[in-house]
Structures are given as C-alpha cells and as structure tokens.
C-alpha cells in the first residue's frame, strides 16, 4: 500500500460512497420538496456505478490507504440488493470497516441480512421522537416508531453500538434535544447531534438556523452532567462526552462552529462515480468515465493519487455567514 497525502499533508483514509441519489424522505435541510418534487430528474440507472465498478474503485482506494468505507446516499437502502455490495466490499483485504448511514425506514427488515453480509456498523438518522416534529424535518410524515424499530433490529443483529444522528435546526426540533438525550441515555447507542450545515444551495440555510454544539452540550450538561472524552482516533469528526452517572456516551458534530478541516481525510464518490474531495465542492472528478474507458488499475491509481495530492479544500474554515450564493453540490447526491 502507498499512502498519499494532500497539499495540506492530510492522508486519504475514509471513503464515502453514495449508492443512489433517490430518497423516500424530503428532509427540508437536504431535499426540500420545492426542488426535489415530482419532476426532479434523478439519475437514470445506467449512469449509476454498478456494484462491480464500486468494488473496483474501492479496491484502488484501499491501495492508497483507505480502510473504512461508508455507504450513503440519498437513501442507500433504496438500492436493490445492497447486501451484495456490502459482501463484495467486505471481501477486500485492506477494508476493515464497511458502514452504512441510513434514515432507518427500511432497516427493520434488512439489518440482519446486512450484518450477515459483512456490514460492521450502522448510523441511523433520526431528528425527533414525536411524529409531529419528525414530520416537520422529513416532510413525508414517516412514523418515528418505524425508525426506532430499525434501530432495535440493528441491535438484535449485533450492529452495536448503533450511532443515531440528529440534525438540529433552530425553531424546528431544538426543543427536543434533552428528550432525545433522555431516550438514548443508558441504551448503549450513541446519539450525536449535528449542526445544520450549508450543504448544497437548495435548503435556504441561514446561520441563525444553526444551534451551536456548545449550546447543545450546555443544555444536556445542565440536566445530566457530562465529561469530555478523548477522540477514538485522529480526525474523528464528533466531539465525544460521557455521562458522569455512567449512562453512556453522546457526541456533537460542530462542522459550522468548530470546523475540523485540518484533519479531514474523507473522499466522497457520488452515485454516478464522481470523486469529491470536499462536502462543499462545486465540481467532482469523473471516475466513471475513466472506469468505462477501459483504464487499467495502474491508470486508475495514478489518477486518484494525482487528485488527492492536489487537494487543498478547507471550506468550513473559510465559511462566512452567507454562503448559499456559491455553487455547491447537493448532500443527497454526494452523501453525508
């Protein structure tokens, strides 16, 4: 394996692969209905990378130092036979971790199959515990109980601990922060609050919609005292805390108020095979064209190394309060 560093000496360690740009939710902060309506042109099937293409790409990334892969989307469980892809990726020697981020809507029926195929970890997004607030976030009225059933199924399948991601939007679901904390305290699962980010250009992001992580931690700490924990590894995006009474762990992802670009080691591949070196990038590098033009493994590896070596992204460190006027790729296309 040959490690590659970018222009800011950051290694390439993690790969996030979007397997579809479609979703059965319309979270207002990600796929607002006004844009992603009936007429929205999602990618046609032939433009999606096949499982074989994804596996070949992942093998090439693995030769450059990647050991962790996360499948995302859109909603990854909408991609048929996803467990086959999980098994193919888990079969790559250097890949030690195959994870999934899902809205949990179809997890109850699939958790065991995914675990049996080699999935190592699952993150379930859940923004509220009451149906009314959850509906205000996902905008399709999906019941909370079915997502909780998905989390239970993941636990039963041995995908533990389950991480639960909650995006906090001021005035919409911030009243439920302590209720979420209370629900997952002592469950063995790890709840993480995410600051609402200005990804894409369609969600109408404003700085005053962001609830800073420090405010979230202060609110929880007031009810149940917290103590900070060391990161599990260099470059971990969540700041970790433990409940002083022993009820487990909680985290915050402060991408807006405390950017972590200096340790960002993530590459992202969209469902149609474009490589993005930053969540906020305006343009990707077309790997599908290279794959389909018959490039050999050496040519593919050389291209990946050249792209990563050139990388200088640090968008969150440079962000200013009004960023939505700049072209940026949508979260549902690139994956979280």
* Contacted by 274, from ligand SAM, ligand SF4, none: CB < 5 to 8 Å by type: none
Stretch that binds ligand SAM, among 178-186, 196-204, 262-270, 296-304 (CB under 6 A): 196-204
Q: What share of the chain is helix, strand, coil (3-state, %, to 5)?
A: 35, 20, 50
Nearest Cα residue to 279 out of 295, 267, 262: 267
Among 149, 201, 229, 260, binds ligand SF4 (CB under 6 A): 260
Residues 14, 66 contacting (CB under 8 angstroms): yes
Among 58, 103, 133, 265, binds ligand SAM (CB under 6 A): 103
Among 142, 184, 196, 308, binds ligand SAM (CB under 6 A): 196
Residues 197, 256 contacting (CB under 8 angstroms): yes
Among 4, 17, 30, 157, binds ligand SAM (CB under 6 A): 30
How far, in Å, CA of 218 to CA of 194, rounded?
15
Residues between 34 and 73 with contacts to ligand SF4, criterion CB under 6 A: 73
Stretch that binds ligand SF4, among 42-50, 92-100, 210-218, 277-285 (CB under 6 A): 277-285
- Indicate the residue among 58 and 332 with the shorter CB distance to ligand SAM: 332
* Contacted by 194, from ligand SF4, ligand SAM, none: CB < 5 to 8 Å by type: ligand SAM
Which two tokens mark 155? 């636990």
Among 278, 300, 301, 334, binds ligand SF4 (CB under 6 A): 278
Among 72, 173, 270, 277, binds ligand SAM (CB under 6 A): 72
The set of residues, in sequence order, having a beta carbon less than 8 Å from that of 145 and lying 6+ positions away, is none
Q: Does 167 bind ligand SAM (CB under 6 A)?
A: yes
Opening angle at CA 47, ends 41 and 48, nearest 5: 100
Q: Does 335 bind ligand SAM (CB under 6 A)?
A: yes
Q: How far apart are CB 59 and ligand SAM at their closest, in Å?
A: 24
The set of residues, in sequence order, having a beta carbon less than 8 Å from that of 186 and lying 6+ positions away, is 247, 248
Among 264, 271, 287, 300, binds ligand SF4 (CB under 6 A): 264
Among 66, 124, 250, 279, binds ligand SF4 (CB under 6 A): 279
Among 4, 15, 17, 30, binds ligand SF4 (CB under 6 A): 30
Residues 272, 44 contacting (CB under 8 angstroms): no
Q: How far apart are CB 101 and ligand SAM at their closest, in Å?
A: 4
* Contacted by 176, from ligand SAM, ligand SF4, none: CB < 5 to 8 Å by type: none
Q: Does 203 bind ligand SF4 (CB under 6 A)?
A: no
How far, in Å, CA of 136 to CA of 132, rounded?
6
Q: Does 218 sit behind a cis peptide bond, omega within 30 degrees of 0 on the bond before it?
A: no
Stretch that binds ligand SF4, among 91-99, 177-185, 292-300, 308-316 (CB under 6 A): 308-316
Q: Does 150 bind ligand SAM (CB under 6 A)?
A: no
H or E stretch including 99? Answer: strand 97-102
Residues 99, 129 contacting (CB under 8 angstroms): no
State the pairing for strand pair 163-168/190-195: parallel
E strand map for 225-308: 226-229, 239-243, 249-253, 266-269, 274-276, 285-286
Number of C-beta neighbours around residue 292 at 10 A? 12
Q: How many residues sit close enough to ligand SF4 to count as binding (CB under 6 A)?
A: 23
Q: How far apart are CB 204 and ligand SAM at their closest, in Å?
A: 10
How far, in Å, CA of 82 to CA of 84, rounded?
5
Q: Which residues bind ligand SAM (CB under 6 A)?
A: 23, 29-30, 72-73, 75, 101-103, 125, 165, 167, 194, 196-197, 199, 203, 331-332, 335-336
């Amino acid at each position: 394996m040959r490690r590659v560093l970018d222009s800011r000496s950051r290694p390439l360690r993690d790969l996030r692969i979007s397997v579809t740009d479609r979703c059965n939710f319309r979270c207002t902060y990600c796929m607002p209905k006004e844009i992603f309506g009936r007429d929205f042109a999602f990618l046609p099937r032939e433009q999606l990378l096949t499982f074989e293409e994804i596996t070949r790409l992942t093998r090439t990334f693995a030769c450059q130092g990647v050991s962790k892969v996360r499948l995302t989307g859109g909603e990854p469980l909408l991609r048929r036979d996803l467990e086959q892809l999980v098994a193919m990726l888990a079969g790559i020697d250097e890949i030690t971790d195959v994870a999934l981020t899902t809205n949990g809507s179809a997890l109850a029926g699939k958790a065991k199959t995914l675990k049996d195929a080699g999935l190592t970890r699952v993150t379930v997004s859940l923004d509220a515990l009451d149906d009314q607030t959850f509906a205000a976030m996902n905008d399709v009225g999906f019941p909370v109980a079915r997502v909780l059933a998905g989390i239970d199924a993941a636990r039963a399948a041995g995908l533990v601990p389950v991480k639960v991601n909650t995006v906090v939007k001021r005035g919409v679901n911030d009243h439920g922060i302590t209720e979420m904390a209370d629900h997952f305290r002592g469950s063995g699962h790890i709840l993480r609050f995410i600051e609402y980010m200005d990804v894409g250009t369609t969600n109408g992001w404003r700085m005053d919609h962001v609830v800073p992580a420090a405010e979230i931690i202060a609110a929880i700490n007031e009810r149940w005292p917290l103590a900070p924990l060391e990161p599990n590894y260099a470059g971990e995006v969540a700041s970790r805390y433990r409940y002083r009474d022993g009820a487990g762990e909680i985290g915050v992802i402060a991408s807006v108020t405390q950017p972590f670009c200096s340790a960002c080691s993530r590459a992202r591949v969209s469902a149609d095979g474009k490589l993005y070196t930053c969540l906020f990038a305006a343009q990707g590098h077309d790997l599908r064209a290279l794959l389909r033009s018959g490039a050999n493994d050496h040519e593919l590896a050389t291209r990946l190394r050249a792209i990563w070596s050139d990388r200088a992204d640090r968008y969150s460190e440079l962000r200013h309060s009004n960023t939505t006027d700049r072209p940026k790729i949508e979260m549902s296309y690139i994956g979280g």
